A and B are shown apart, each in its own frame.
Chain A
Amino acid sequence: MRNFNKRDEISRRRFISNSAKACLGVSLLPCLQNNSLIAAVSESGKQPKARNVIHLYMAGGMSHIDTFDPKPGTEAQGPVETIKTNADGILIGEYLPLMSKHMDKVAIIRSLNSSQGAHAQGAYFMKTGYIKRGTITHPGMGSWLNKLSGRTNSSIPGNIRINGGNNAPGGAGFFEEKFGPLTIGNPSEGLANSKRNKNIPVKQFETRLNLSEWIDTSFHKEYKYKEVRAYSDAYTEALTLMKSEDLNAFDITKEPKEIKAAYGPSKLGQGCLLARRLIEHDVRYVEVNYGGWDTHNDNFNRIEVQCEALDTALSTLLLDLERRGMLDETLVVVSTEFGRSPEISSDLGRNHHPKVFSCLLAGGGVQGGQVYGASDEIGNEVAENSVSVNDFNATIGYALGLPLEEIVYSPSGRPFTVGNKGKPVTAIF
Chain B
Amino acid sequence: MHYPLFIKLHYLLLIFLIGNMANLSGQSPKPHSPVKPVKKEAKHFEYSTKIDLIIQKDLKKNSAKLNPPLSDTAFLKRIYLDTIGRIPTYEESLSFLDNKSPNKRRSLIDKLLDSEGYVSHQYTFWADLLRITTTGNINTGGDAYYYAKWIKEAIRSNMPYDKIVKSMLLAEGYPWENGATGYYLRDPGMELDNASNTIQAFLGTQLVCAQCHDHPFEKWTQEEYYGMASHTYGVNSRMPIKENQKLNSTRKILQQTTNLKKNISLKGTVSNFTRPLSYGVNRTNKKLPKPTDYATNNKKKKDFVVPHTIFGKNTHTTQDDKDTRVESYSRWLTSKENPLFAKVIANRIWAKFFGIGIIKEVDDIREDTKPSNTELLNYITRLMKDNDFDLKTFQRILLNTKVYQRKSTTNEQDHTKPYLFTGPILRRMTAEQIWDSCLTMVVPNLDNRQGLHFTRAHPSQKTLSIVEGLPPNELAEKFIAINKAESKYYTKRKYIRSELLLLDKEQDIEKIKALRKQEKNAKKEMQVTIYGEQSKQKYYKDKKGEWKGLGNNLVRASESPSPMYPGNFIEVFGQSDRKIIDNNSKKANVNQILMRLNGHMFNQIIYAKTGLGGKMRTIQDLNELLDTLFLGVLVRKPTEAERKKLLPLLKENRGKSQFDIFWALLNTNQFIFIS
Knowing A134-B206, A204-B660 are in contact, say whether A167-B586 is a contact too (CB < 8 A): no
List the B side residues contacting A157 at CB < 8 Å.
Answer: 590
User: Which of A102-110, A206-214, A326-334 lines the interface with chain B?
Assistant: A206-214
List the A side residues contacting B240 at CB < 8 Å.
Answer: none
List the A side residues contacting B598 at CB < 8 Å.
Answer: 193-197, 242
B588 to chain A, nearest CB (A): 4
Q: Is the CB of B579 within 8 A of A177?
A: no
Q: Is the CB of B660 within 8 A of A208?
A: yes
Q: Is the CB of B669 within 8 A of A228?
A: yes
Knowing A224-B411, A228-B426 are in contact, say whether A166-B585 is a contact too (CB < 8 A): yes
B433 to chain A, nearest CB (A): 15
User: Which of B18-26, B375-383, B564-572 lines the interface with chain A?
Assistant: B564-572
- Specify the chain A residue showing the minimal Cβ separation from B294: A355
Q: Is the CB of B572 within 8 A of A166?
A: yes
Answer yes or no: B503 CB below 8 A from chain A CBs: no
Q: Is the CB of A225 within 8 A of B412?
A: yes
| CB < 8 Å neighbour of B673 from A207, A228, A232, A267 | A228
Knowing A166-B571, A238-B590 are in contact, say whether A292-B209 is a contact too (CB < 8 A): no
Q: How far is the CA of A325 from the CA of B123 in the complex (A)?
A: 53
Q: How far is the CA of A243 from the CA of B586 in the complex (A)?
A: 27
Answer yes or no: B663 CB below 8 A from chain A CBs: yes
- Specify the chain A residue showing the minimal Cβ separation from B4: A291
Q: Is the CB of B565 within 8 A of A234?
A: no
Answer yes or no: B122 CB below 8 A from chain A CBs: no
B256 to chain A, nearest CB (A): 25
List the B side residues contacting A191 at CB < 8 Å.
Answer: 594
Q: Is the CB of B2 within 8 A of A289?
A: yes
Q: Is the CB of A413 within 8 A of B412?
A: no
| CB < 8 Å neighbour of A166 from B361, B591, B656 | B591
- Specify the chain A residue showing the minimal Cβ separation from B362: A134
Q: How far is the CA of A24 from the CA of B663 in the complex (A)?
A: 47
| CB < 8 Å neighbour of A232 from B583, B587, B669 | B669
Q: Is the CB of A167 within 8 A of B576?
A: yes
List the A side residues contacting B206 at CB < 8 Å.
Answer: 133-134
User: Which of A9-17, A111-119, A275-283, A360-368 lines the interface with chain B?
Assistant: A111-119
Q: Is the CB of B213 within 8 A of A172?
A: no
| CB < 8 Å neighbour of B2 from A59, A117, A227, A230 | A59
| CB < 8 Å neighbour of A135 from B361, B567, B675 | B361
List the A side residues contacting B212 at CB < 8 Å.
Answer: 115-117
Answer yes or no: A223 CB below 8 A from chain B CBs: yes
- Specify the chain A residue showing the minimal Cβ separation from B603: A197
List the B side residues contacting A222 at CB < 8 Å.
Answer: 410, 675
Per-position binary interface string of chain B over residues 582-619, scored 1 when its CB falls under 8 Å from any chain A CB and 0 otherwise: 01111111111111011100010000000000000000
Answer yes or no: B665 CB below 8 A from chain A CBs: yes
User: Which of A36-44, A178-186, A315-323 lines the interface with chain B?
Assistant: A178-186
List the A side residues contacting B193 at CB < 8 Å.
Answer: 118
Q: How far is the CA of A82 from the CA of B471 in the complex (A)?
A: 49
Answer yes or no: B3 CB below 8 A from chain A CBs: yes
Interface members, chain B 400-435 (any A CB < 8 Å): 408, 410-412, 415-416, 426, 428
List the A side residues contacting B669 at CB < 8 Å.
Answer: 216, 219-220, 228, 231-232
Q: How far is the CA of A301 from the CA of B672 in the complex (A)?
A: 47
Interface size on A, residues (CB 8 A): 80
Q: Is the CB of B597 within 8 A of A231?
A: no
Q: Is the CB of B589 within 8 A of A293?
A: no
- Specify the chain B residue showing the minimal Cβ separation from A297: B139
Q: How far is the CA of A194 from the CA of B599 in the complex (A)?
A: 9
Q: Is the CB of A133 within 8 A of B577?
A: no
Answer yes or no: A417 CB below 8 A from chain B CBs: no
List the B side residues contacting A234 at CB < 8 Å.
Answer: 588-590, 592-593
Answer yes or no: A423 CB below 8 A from chain B CBs: no
B159 to chain A, nearest CB (A): 27
Interface members, chain A 119-159 (any B CB < 8 Å): 119-121, 131-135, 157
Q: Is the CB of A60 within 8 A of B2?
A: yes
A156 to chain B, nearest CB (A): 10
List the A side residues contacting B239 at CB < 8 Å.
Answer: none
| CB < 8 Å neighbour of A172 from B1, B576, B587 | B587
Q: Is the CB of A230 within 8 A of B588?
A: yes
List the B side residues contacting A195 at CB < 8 Å.
Answer: 598
| CB < 8 Å neighbour of A121 from B208, B594, B599 | B208
Q: Is the CB of A167 within 8 A of B575?
A: yes
| CB < 8 Å neighbour of B593 from A133, A186, A228, A238 | A238
Q: Is the CB of B656 within 8 A of A192?
A: no
Q: Is the CB of B5 within 8 A of A413?
A: no
| CB < 8 Å neighbour of B3 from A165, A180, A238 | A165
List the A side residues contacting B209 at CB < 8 Å.
Answer: 131
Interface members, chain B 1-52 (any A CB < 8 Å): 1-6
- Specify the chain A residue showing the minimal Cβ separation from B675: A223
| CB < 8 Å neighbour of A219 from B200, B361, B576, B675 | B675
Answer yes or no: A354 CB below 8 A from chain B CBs: yes
Q: Is the CB of B566 within 8 A of A165?
A: yes
| CB < 8 Å neighbour of B670 from A216, A290, A293 | A216
Per-position binary interface string of chain B over residues 226-240, scored 1 when its CB falls under 8 Å from any chain A CB and 0 otherwise: 000000000000000
Answer yes or no: A45 CB below 8 A from chain B CBs: no
- Specify the chain B residue showing the minimal Cβ separation from A381: B297
List the A side residues contacting B408 at CB < 8 Å.
Answer: 223
Q: Is the CB of B588 within 8 A of A177?
A: yes
Answer yes or no: B509 CB below 8 A from chain A CBs: no
B594 to chain A, nearest CB (A): 4
A181 to chain B, nearest CB (A): 8
A297 to chain B, nearest CB (A): 9
List the A side residues contacting B211 at CB < 8 Å.
Answer: 117
List the B side residues contacting A180 at CB < 8 Å.
Answer: 587, 589
Knowing A193-B597, A223-B410, A291-B2 are in contact, say whether A166-B668 is a contact too (CB < 8 A): no
Answer yes or no: A215 CB below 8 A from chain B CBs: yes
List the B side residues contacting A79 at CB < 8 Å.
Answer: none
Q: How far is the CA of A237 from the CA of B297 in the complex (A)?
A: 50
List the A side residues contacting B553 at CB < 8 Å.
Answer: none
Answer yes or no: A164 CB below 8 A from chain B CBs: yes
Q: How far is the CA of A234 from the CA of B595 in the complex (A)?
A: 12
Q: Is the CB of A227 within 8 A of B588?
A: yes
List the B side residues contacting A235 at CB < 8 Å.
Answer: 593
Q: How far is the CA of A104 from the CA of B564 in the complex (A)?
A: 41
Answer yes or no: B574 CB below 8 A from chain A CBs: yes
Q: How far is the CA of A348 from the CA of B667 in the complex (A)?
A: 53
List the A side residues contacting B481 at CB < 8 Å.
Answer: none
Q: Is the CB of B580 within 8 A of A185?
A: no
Answer yes or no: B61 CB below 8 A from chain A CBs: no
Q: Is the CB of B579 within 8 A of A119?
A: yes
Q: Is the CB of A215 within 8 A of B642?
A: yes
Q: How far is the CA of A191 from the CA of B593 in the complex (A)?
A: 12
Q: Is the CB of B675 within 8 A of A168?
A: no
A331 to chain B, nearest CB (A): 23
List the A side residues contacting B592 at CB < 8 Å.
Answer: 234
Q: How far is the CA of A164 from the CA of B593 in the complex (A)?
A: 18
Q: How far is the CA of A84 from the CA of B16 in the complex (A)?
A: 44
B5 to chain A, nearest CB (A): 4
List the B side residues contacting A89 at CB < 8 Å.
Answer: none
Q: How far is the CA of A166 from the CA of B564 in the complex (A)?
A: 11
Per-position binary interface string of chain B over residues 194-214, scored 1 when its CB falls under 8 Å from any chain A CB and 0 otherwise: 000000100000101101110
List the A side residues contacting B572 at CB < 8 Å.
Answer: 166, 183
- A-B CB contact pairs (8 Å), 17 listed: A115-B294, A120-B580, A133-B364, A166-B572, A167-B574, A167-B575, A193-B594, A196-B598, A197-B598, A204-B660, A207-B660, A219-B673, A231-B669, A238-B590, A294-B5, A355-B297, A412-B416
Besides the contacts A115-B294, A231-B588, A411-B415, what 8 more A-B pairs have beta carbons closer than 8 Å? A192-B594, A220-B669, A223-B410, A223-B673, A224-B410, A227-B588, A234-B589, A294-B140
Identify the A interface with B (CB < 8 A). Answer: 59-60, 115-121, 131-135, 157, 163-168, 171-172, 177, 180, 182-183, 185-186, 191-197, 204, 207-209, 211-212, 214-216, 218-220, 222-228, 230-235, 237-239, 241-242, 267-268, 289-294, 354-355, 381, 411-413
4 A-B pairs closest in CB distance: A291-B2, A185-B567, A134-B364, A59-B2
